Amino acid sequence: MTINTEKLFKIVYRAFYVFIIAIVCFLLIALFPIKGNYQIKIVKSGSMEPAIKTGSIVVIKPSANYTVGDVVTFGKDTKKDIPTTHRIVASRAVQGTLLFTTKGDANEDKDTQEIRQSDIHGKVLFDVPFFGYIIDFARKPIGFAILVVLPALIVIYDEGAKIFSEVKKMRLKKQQEIQNETIA
């Protein structure tokens, strides 16, 4: 059973579309997170390896309950401050406030500061290895141009070429009809 090159091209072309749409969706979700909803964060250190690799994206969702064993993302999230993703290894209540002790799986020691439930952005639902590198690159102007604008221009060019080809075929068909009417 052989696949002809046209079918292979269509498969690759459609996969390319899906890949670009996925990158744009992840980029938009990462750039415009909605508080209290799913968020995407990029893991920039190896403290959770091998469970979560450096450069992965983690999809998190806030929860009302966090327990020992949960992997959570917490801390400041600004242009200068990167939130941390670690596992909860202990919890305790102090005057009605829950405090959690966290630790990276690859770290030997627990984190030095306990965190409050209000410091937690959310529980990690799943991660996608190495996709964070692409999202991080796409956030930069050159990366955005290469990963979003350039593919969009290629798609626009391809669709324009198809339209031009169809218009040309229609004109030829119309000219042949006019010639056939003239002859008849």
Is 41:83 a contact under the CB 8 Å cutoff?
yes
CA 60 – CA 75 distance, rounded (Å): 14
**Does 111 qualify as catalytic in the annotation?**
yes
Tokens linked to 38: 């799913």
Which one of 70, 86, 121, 127 is the catalytic residue?
A: 86
Is 57:131 a contact under the CB 8 Å cutoff?
yes
Which one of 56, 63, 91, 111 is the catalytic residue?
A: 111
CA 105 – CA 120 distance, rounded (Å): 18
**Does 136 qualify as catalytic in the annotation?**
no
**Does 165 qualify as catalytic in the annotation?**
no
Which one of 47, 70, 121, 127 is the catalytic residue?
A: 47
Q: Which residues contact 102 (CB under 8 A, 6 or more apart)?
A: 72, 74, 84, 86, 87, 88, 89, 110, 111, 115
Verify cis geometry, omega within 30 degrees of 0, for the bond prior to 83.
no
Three-state DSSP class for residue 144: helix
Q: ∠38-19-22 over CA atoms, to 5°?
A: 15
- The residues annotated with a catalytic role in the active site are 47, 86, 111
